[in-house]
Chain A
Amino acid sequence: MRVALFVTCLADQFYPGVSEATVKVLRRLGVEVSFDPAQTCCGQPAFNTGYREEARLVAARNLDLFANADADYIVSPSGSCTSMMRVFYRELFEHDPLRSAQAQAMAGRVFEFSEFVVKVLKVDDVGARFAHRVAYHDSCHLLRELGVAEEPRRLLRAVRDAELVELDDNRLCCGFGGTFAVKFPEVSAAMGADKIKAAAAIGAEYLVAGDSGCLMHLAGLIHRQGAKIKTIHLAEVLASH
């Protein structure tokens, strides 16, 4: 099986380890992974802020890029970017028949990493070991746009020596929200602080999530506060042994 990776610009530039971990896990499961360095961003920053023209320029380029990709699936270690490509590209191009056919085709082919492993590869146990107490944070797009909540938990439960604990009110947003984080910085930070408090309250050593955006926001708060808890992407947990 062949997979074209969409690594996301955030992971590419800030967290290349997340992309590497994604490649590692997929390869371990026998998947042939390709990466086209022509890719950049999914277009979400502009779409999220209301600049649809700019979002369309970036999205259209992405549609062309992956339409030509010689792969069965497109996989991305981000619930948010996957939502953009599966759900919002269609909305962005609803009045453009050609592009919307392309977006439709992409929607059927693009998967978020954890959902791909569990639903498509039908694997729960990827052979990882991670001897820590971890809390999984549901990123909102992953949870509510893609309906993925059980898959990451199944994967985490199968990790040797890891203890999965549940956050109180685990559906609550961490406050990242893309450009919301800089448009309403005080609110965004206060929401994140609540999340960190909730994770500390149950004695989690790691906050695990499937989106680098949420993790960057939470890690930044933790670093500023000098708190003990750490953040890690699900793919990195699954790549460790």
Chain B
Amino acid sequence: MDEAVGVESNQIHELGKRVMGNARLAEAYRSSTLRLYDHRRQAIAEVPGFEALRERARALKREVITHLDYYLEQFAASVERRGGKVHWAVDAREACALVIALARECGAKEVVKAKSMVSEEIELNHALETAGIRPVESDLGEYILQLANERPAHIVAPAIHKTRGDVADLFERHVDPHRAEEPEELTAVARQALRTVFAEAGMGVSGANFAVAETGTIVTVENEGNIRFSTTAPRVHVALVGIEKLIPRFQDLAVFLRLLGRSGTGQKLTSYTSILTGPRRLGEDGPDEMHVILIDNGRTRALADEKMREALYCIRCGACLNACPVYRKIGGHAYGWVYSGPIGALITPELAGLKQARELPFASSLCGACREVCPVKINIPDLLLHLRAQAQETAAATKPPGSPVREHTAMRLWAWLMTSSRRYAWSARWARIGQHLVARSGWIRSSRFFPLSAWTRDRDLPALAPRSFRQRWKDLESEEKDT
């Protein structure tokens, strides 16, 4: 898929169908998500009191999000106290401009990037390139996507949809004409290509999994060691932090670290957990300068909605994506922006605006599998329902193809019929008469009119029973009296 410009979430139907029609892609999503889902299940089974841990994490996040102004000030003061510098960015443009200014200041022509969803959100790579600075992704998955010119397909495993063969093709074309096939070889090719850049880059950019208000600490977790490298080797480290990433105290970290790895990949702990507090002090390793850019980009708008602010508790573990049967079918790119799956369906409309993403809240059967795995117990289906209501208020649904009326008109008519048993029975009678035209031996197999047309696309619809229950009730009543 070509690099998308802007939010194309309303194309979810077409984009999703593309994945379902591609056996290789469909299988990649299916097997990878099922594997991660299963790993999670095994990992949490080993932890006694996992439920209590989730409750604790949720309570901590609720505390932070409810008093975010207080914790942000505390965090900023803590960072400065440890010699770091804090910057505030209202939106993506400001955040990118800050990174570019910092790169120019330290004369960096190349910037090493650690895997960071917020950097994808603000489209930092694009901004850097336009400014003549070369961004180099150090995370293997992100590196693959950079070569393929794609967005992440999953918030934790960005290249989840790429098979080994795809990666081999990409590397052969872009990196090393000697084709490598085995995973170890492929990793070696990437490492070789990145090593020279690593050594020379003057600036490293990372995200943050957590930001500790009490101590001004940035915490990152990963498995490859590239984040650690990108945040410590270059002379300047810039951490991009969405303002919802805060946790109150250093000791709270223990709660979240126990949840994050297990929920996301089924690991007790990821291989590397980097705890970064301020730039290097005398006699230590580390960057000379540490900058933290606190990014809003729509988050305070979400915060203003008392119901929707719950979505800001998210710690981006990816568990809800792996559990979601819809994500498994349509894949990450179908969600049309950087965040996908159930959490993408929540925060894309919040951050990018409901108009651009009005289809997303509807892309769910509301089965609740996401809520079941979420480490901070976000009531995702309930928030999706809430967003659906907002969607109908802010951007009216268009007329579905094959529908004689708009959706809202149909619903009004439906409510009118359902608020009187006479009208209800009357419409059922007409439907029984009408179905003689379309039903054959008890089934309706096709129709030109919505919603029948959509229902009968891949399945049949049983005809209405010859007599409804209410018509049969009289007989049942007399049966009761007879016995």
Contact = CB atoms under 8 A, between A and B. Distances in A.
B414 A221 contact: no
Nearest to B463: A14
Contact of B389 (A33, A50, A176, A186): A50
Interface in B376-401: 382, 385, 387-392, 400
A183 B367 CA distance: 15
Contacts of B448: none
Nearest to B480: A27
Contact of B459 (A37, A171, A179, A220): A220
Contacts of B480: 27, 33
A190 B325 CA distance: 10
B436 interface: no
Chain B residues touching A, range:
35 or more
Residue of A39, A46, A192 ringed by the most chain B CB atoms within 10 A: A46
Given A14-B462, A184-B326, A186-B17, A40 B362 contact: no
Contact of A184 (B362, B367, B459): B362
Interface string A2-43: 000001010111111101100100010000010101111101
Given A43-B418, A58-B415, A182-B450, A217 B459 contact: yes
B388 A50 contact: yes
Contacts of A101: none
B425 to A, nearest CB: 8
Contacts, number: 185
Given A40-B419, A46-B411, A187-B16, A177 B365 contact: yes
Interface stretch (B46-54, B139-147, B470-478): B470-478
A48 B372 CA distance: 20
A220 B455 contact: yes
B459 A177 contact: no
Interface of B: 13, 16-17, 20, 325-326, 329-330, 361-369, 371-372, 382, 385, 387-392, 400, 407-408, 411-412, 414-415, 417-421, 424, 428, 431, 443, 445, 450-451, 454-455, 457-462, 464-465, 467-473, 476, 480
Interface of A: 7, 9, 11-17, 19-20, 23, 27, 33, 35, 37-41, 43, 45-52, 54-55, 57-58, 61, 91, 140, 143-145, 171-173, 175-192, 194, 216-217, 219-221, 223-224
